[in-house]
Homo-oligomer: A and B are copies of this chain.
Amino acid sequence: MPSDAIRAALIKRLRLSSAIADEDIKEIEALPISVRHYPAETAVVRDGERATDCCLIADGFCVRSKTIANGKRQILSIHIPGEIPDLMSLFLHVMDHDLSTLTPSTLGFISHETLQKLHRRSPGIAEMFWRDTLIDSAMFREWIVNVGQRPAPARLAHVMIELRERLRVIGRVDGGNFEMPLTQEQIGEALGITAVHANRVIRQLRQEGIVEFNRGRVTVLDERKFQELADFDNRYLHQSPTL
């Protein structure tokens, strides 16, 4: 994948949540990006490491997670092409969580140094990226609510719909069908339940004719029931630059 296409994906996504000036677009197009390929299930940055670059997902799915003393892992967010999952490392240099690939991924790295310079030069871009990190934060808030208050079937439905709404924006939803390349083990880690309970919940949703999950693919069977179960309100995604 040419690094131009990567930049285009980023700009497309940023446009969604912020208004961008033309000269700022040029700045982003001129950003030096070094591209690297990662296999599936591989760490990109680890908890405790000091980051010197931010990484832009050109292709593939990634997750952020934290592992606690007893070895249990919690998935904090799922990331898709066009996103910069570790933008926070720009000012919080030592990582407090892991970033790793789910599928084979193409990542574009931009050094903190060039990003800092860019911000000094164009405050508009700084604000745009700041806003991006704030949306990230809003998504964490919703994730807390999901894990803390919803029964397991609703949790699963909610994570699915959030992912779908974000995939839709980059043209990756085909009718009632989209990619969610997690194993049941990983779904458990995202929802705060065990893998066998994740399996139970998936089975239940299938038996009730709501949604089908099969080898990393979601197929919605009954959109009405699906939405009702998920209790999803997209406001927290802040997908429109309403100032």
Contacts and interface: CB of A to CB of B under 8 A. Distances in A.
Interface of A: 48, 64, 66, 68-70, 72-74, 76, 88, 91-94, 96-97, 119-120, 123, 126-127, 130-131, 133-138, 140-145, 147-150, 191-192, 231, 235-236, 238, 242-243
A174 B214 CA distance: 55
A192 B243 contact: no
A71 B85 CA distance: 32
A144 B143 contact: yes
A88 B134 contact: yes
B235 A138 contact: no
Nearest to A70: B231
A68 B231 contact: yes
DSSP class of A's interface residues: helix, strand, loop or mixed?
helix
Contacts of A130: 91, 126, 130, 133
10 contacts: A64-B141, A68-B150, A91-B127, A91-B134, A92-B138, A96-B236, A130-B130, A137-B140, A147-B148, A147-B192
A141 B135 CA distance: 14
B144 A147 contact: yes
Given A68-B231, A147-B148, A236-B96, A133 B137 contact: yes
Chain copies in complex? 2
A126 B134 CA distance: 14
B88 A137 contact: yes
A36 to B, nearest CB: 25
A235 B192 contact: no
A135 B92 contact: yes
Given A92-B134, A96-B142, 12 more contacts: A48-B235, A64-B141, A66-B145, A68-B150, A72-B149, A96-B238, A119-B127, A130-B130, A137-B137, A137-B140, A147-B148, A147-B192
A97 B238 CA distance: 13
A198 to B, nearest CB: 13
Given A66-B142, A148-B147, A93 B242 contact: yes
Given A141-B76, A147-B144, A92 B238 contact: yes
